[in-house]
Structure 1
Amino acid sequence: MRFTLRQIGVFVAVARHESVSRAAEELSLSQSATSTALGELERQYDTQLFDRFGKTLRLNELGQALLPQAVELIERAAAIESGLEGHAGYGKLQIGATLTIGNYLATLIVADFLTRHPESSVHLKVHNTATIVDQVARHELDLGLVEGSCRHPELIVEPWVADELVVFCAPGHPLAKKASVTLAELADESWIVREPGSGTRETLDQALRHQHSPLKVRLELEHTEAIKRAVEFGLGIGCISRLALREAFRRGSLVAIQTPELDLQRHFHFLWHRRKFQTAGMREFIGLCRAMTAGVERSDQIEWSFIP
């Protein structure tokens, strides 16, 4: 073989960042050394792996075909090196989670994983569903935990646990004491909602697809905690996962609104690239996720021993 692992590592880093300078920072190399390694790899085989647009490099068709194999090669090489050095564990995992999962479940699973495997490391990124799907598709993440739908042709999607959204308000709100609320009544209220691209907003929009009048959206916020605070302050009503509202409902600082006309059921999912080598660390992490939700029908029913 004429290529080196260093050249392959540079290729993978440049593909992830679409930038030689940012790849150099990740690899702790100089920009010139990074550029030289990539150039040598392409010259050795008289080919190009990227299309150049100024300082931006984007994978061409050949580069896209080779990237999953290159990522697998680097991961297997790292596992071999770890074994030769006598280290246990699963190396480094890049995990992405959407906000509800990231804030209420993923950090607990990461803590459990690292307690069991102290030689390993985990980098957890928390974004909305659209961002996590994009990062998994670009091989920037090993595994995604999402609450929205994913139709990307290159990604494998597996169900994890059921979840349910709930419409809610402050205790003093006029709807708080009603036995149930109609769609027409909901349409008259001011709403505090998640941003487009989030799984929560997607589920709400899907549930309201037959509603002729659009919602009166007063605020769009990227964080569930901010939505809860805004609703507590009386700025409107909201709709997020029951998992995120469990403690607030217990305290009585927020109240669930019964909406029999709305189907707010959904699922949390795992997703990974179909051409990605599934490492032992990924399998272990997924196993811990499934162990956390074993025997429960919905995310908010997870035992309090997991969520204080």
Structure 2
Amino acid sequence: MNFHQLHIFYTVSEKGSFSAAAQALHMTQPAVTMQVQALEDYFGTKLFNRSTKKIVLSDAGRTLLPFALRSIELMRETDQGMAAYTHMLEGRLLLGSSLTIGEYVLPRLLAPFGKAYPYISVMLKIMNTTQIMEEINKHQLTFGLIEAEVTHPDMVIEPVMEDELKLIVPGDHELADRDEVSLEEALRFPFVLREQGSGTRRVMEEQLLAKGMDLGELQVVMELGSTGAVKSAVEAGLGLTMLSPSTVRHEVALGLLKIVNVSGASFKRQFYAIHDKSTLLPIHAVTFLNFLRKHAED
């Protein structure tokens, strides 16, 4: 018996078939079947009851499953513990990322990561959360980074970075000389916002509702489908907005926009990593996520 066999057994159980497990593990179906049979030979009992339509765990398989899960969790903890010492790692990461993370957060982190780990290459695709989950299911991505927590029975979702929305005003606005304003003061002005359903919009509205405010009283003069369009509209003086400071670094440096703190309100949110539950992340992926956790706030 070895860890590889336990991992294969667990994956077959999670996926419900040998063919789906083979796809998840990047193995051939005969190889998966052979490893499960070797494990059954070791214990001298069947771990699955097979039929023409599906496979289900036997009593012995149900007994083994929590031990297999513990072995996988221990291997994940081992990789986490050793990731700090793996500077000569080689590998290729296929990463999916939502818009704000991919366009504004990751670029400033990829350069120092490349210097620290020169033999790990990162291939980044920017897409929405649904597309990321679909490609993880098809095993076309190593993992994804998303802006809103989701639930999926086949996925592991864990917080990896924290972000906070701030009030963004035009550089020549009457609030631009203020370091801090009250929420009530800010809401006296019209707002340009991302479209309904966006992660940024949802964080803002949830905090306003928590403060007992009526969203109908918010003066939304424009709803736009991209962060870039929102920034341009605010620069033009059409209204204020709430965005992550990471998205307006360039405009703030040029004096086109100003970041203003809002007293008495916190618009914090988490960014999450998501990956297939039955697949162990390669250690260079664990190293990348640990790097993000450590350097995201630098």
Residues 72 and 277 of structure 1 are in contact (CA less than 8 Å); yes or no, is this contact kept in structure 2? no
**In the alignment, which residue of structure 2 is the partner of 1:256?**
259
Matches within 5 A, 1:20-59: none
Residues 245 and 259 of structure 2 are in contact (CA less than 8 Å); yes or no, is this contact kept in structure 1? no
Tell which deviates more after alignment, 236-245 or 196-205.
Answer: 196-205
Matches within 5 A, 1:1-308: 66-74=19-27, 90-111=90-111, 121-177=121-177, 179-183=180-184, 186=187, 188-209=188-209, 210-214=212-216, 215-293=218-296, 299=297, 302=298
One-letter code aligned to 1:212: D
Q: Aligned to 1:172, what secondary structure does the other structure show? A: coil
What displacement does 1:62 show? 5.5
Q: Aligned to 2:191, what secondary structure does the other structure show? A: strand
Percent of residue pairs identical: 29
Distance 1:235 1:160 in 2: 34
Q: CA, structure 1 residues 114+246, in 2 after alignment: closer, same or farther (shift >3 Å)?
A: closer
Distance 1:68 1:199 in 2: 33
One-letter code aligned to 2:263: P
Q: CA, structure 1 residues 116+191, in 2 after alignment: closer, same or farther (shift >3 Å)?
A: same
What displacement does 1:247 show? 4.1
Cα RMSD (Å): 3.3
**In the alignment, which residue of structure 2 is the partner of 1:80?**
none
Residues 192 and 221 of structure 2 are in contact (CA less than 8 Å); yes or no, is this contact kept in structure 1? yes
Q: CA, structure 1 residues 154+234, in 2 after alignment: closer, same or farther (shift >3 Å)?
A: same
Q: Which has the higher contact order (CA 8 A, sep 6+)?
A: 2
One-letter code aligned to 1:142: T
Distance 1:220 1:231 in 2: 12
Q: CA, structure 1 residues 213+164, in 2 after alignment: closer, same or farther (shift >3 Å)?
A: closer
Q: Aligned to 2:181, what secondary structure does the other structure show? A: coil
Distance 2:174 2:272 in 1: 36
Distance 1:290 1:271 in 2: 14
Q: Deviations over 1:285-307 (max 9, x none)?
A: 223323424xxxxx3xx2xxxxx
What displacement does 1:234 show? 0.7
Distance 1:204 1:139 in 2: 34
Q: Aligned to 1:180, what secondary structure does the other structure show? A: strand
Q: CA, structure 1 residues 94+221, in 2 after alignment: closer, same or farther (shift >3 Å)?
A: farther
Residues 90 and 280 of structure 1 are in contact (CA less than 8 Å); yes or no, is this contact kept in structure 2? no
What displacement does 1:231 show? 0.5
What displacement does 1:273 show? 1.7
Residues 97 and 106 of structure 1 are in contact (CA less than 8 Å); yes or no, is this contact kept in structure 2? no
Query: Unaligned stretches of 5+ in structure 1?
Result: 1-60, 78-87, 294-298, 303-308
TM-score normalized by structure 1? 0.60
Distance 1:271 1:249 in 2: 32
What displacement does 1:117 show? 6.1
What displacement does 1:72 show? 1.5
Q: CA, structure 1 residues 247+149, in 2 after alignment: closer, same or farther (shift >3 Å)?
A: same
Q: Deviations over 1:100-125 (max 9, x none)?
A: 22123323444555566666543211
What displacement does 1:264 show? 0.2
